[in-house]
Amino acid sequence: DAKTTQPNSMESNEEEPVHLPCNHSTISGTDYIHWYRQLPSQGPEYVIHGLTSNVNNRMASLAIAEDRKSSTLILHRATLRDAAVYYCICQNTNAGKSTFGDGTTLTVKP
Amino acid sequence: DGGITQSPKYLFRKEGQNVTLSCEQNLNHDAMYWYRQDPGQGLRLIYYSQIVNDFQKGDIAEGYSVSREKKESFPLTVTSAQKNPTAFYLCASSRRENTGELFFGEGSRLTVL
């Protein structure tokens, strides 16, 4: 699996957009980029995933660099409920496993 | 409702005792995973299984054992050989393809006294 690098923490104001970056410079051609988030004492939940093109869903948008070595999770209007640890992982079917780093702790200020 | 169920949610054990954590899924997923999480840290992969009767070691398998006798069940045993077993344990499942979203259970918090 490709190793991912994320900032330890980020802050945002409520109702403002948030851009969470992730570097994955060793990503392979078959790796999908997935994002998950985790609230305290809970299991992570899926947010979004993509391969090459930018993706949108009801929770967030995923912008993937043209060379695929980095990606950005975009929360269009942060709410207090978005405060969580966000994980970026590269998922490869051949490896059959997923490895999580330490993620980014997002704090949302009212 | 479909999902993953982990039990027990909280568990206390004495040093030297083996402990088995249960993980059951009714999502018809082929792949299942066990992770360990220590306070303030990310998830580390212990074991994973892509198919019944087959499993592979993850990054921190020492002191742990698993079995996959049924598609829906993937129990984890924390043995006395695990030097520091106190942690939050998470089970997950997914389809085998790399687009497969991971579904997580609520976790089991093990404290060894």
pLDDT of res. A47: 96
Which residues of chain A lie closer than 8 angstroms to B109, CB-CB? 41
Span A1-7, average pLDDT:
87
pLDDT of res. B49: 93
The per-residue pLDDT for range A47-99, each reduced to its tens digit, is: 999 999 999 999 899 999 999 999 999 999 999 999 999 999 998 765 557 77
At residue B98, does pLDDT exceed 70?
no
pLDDT of res. B47: 95
pLDDT of res. A65: 96
Calpha distance A100→B85 (Å, rounded): 19
Calpha distance A108→A28 (Å, rounded): 33
Q: Give ∠ CA A103-A47-A33 in degrees, rounded to 5.
A: 70
Q: Does A98 touch chain B (CB under 8 A)?
A: yes
pLDDT of res. A30: 84
* Interface contact B102-A34, CB threshold 8 A: yes
Q: Kindly state the DSSP code that residue A41 receives in the 8-state scheme.
A: T
**Mean pLDDT, rounded, of chain A:** 91
Calpha distance A72→B76 (Å, rounded): 35
Q: How many interchain CB pairs under 8 A, A with B?
A: 64
The pair of three-digit structure tokens given for residue B13, joined into one six-digit string? 């054990």
Q: How many angstroms from the chain centroid is the CA of residue A91?
A: 12
pLDDT of res. B1: 64
Q: Is B75 exposed, middle or buried (0-12, 13-18, 19+ CB in 10 A)?
A: middle
- Beginning with the edge strand found earlier in the chain, give each strand of the sheet holding A45-50 in spatial order: A9-13, A104-109, A84-91, A32-38, A45-50
At residue B2, does pLDDT exceed 90?
no
At residue B97, does pLDDT exceed 80?
no
Span B7-17, average pLDDT:
93
The per-residue pLDDT for range B32-89, each reduced to its tens digit, is: 999 999 988 899 999 999 999 999 999 999 999 999 999 999 999 999 888 899 999 9
Q: Kindly state the DSSP code that residue A5 receives in the 8-state scheme.
A: B
Q: Does B36 touch chain A (CB under 8 A)?
A: no
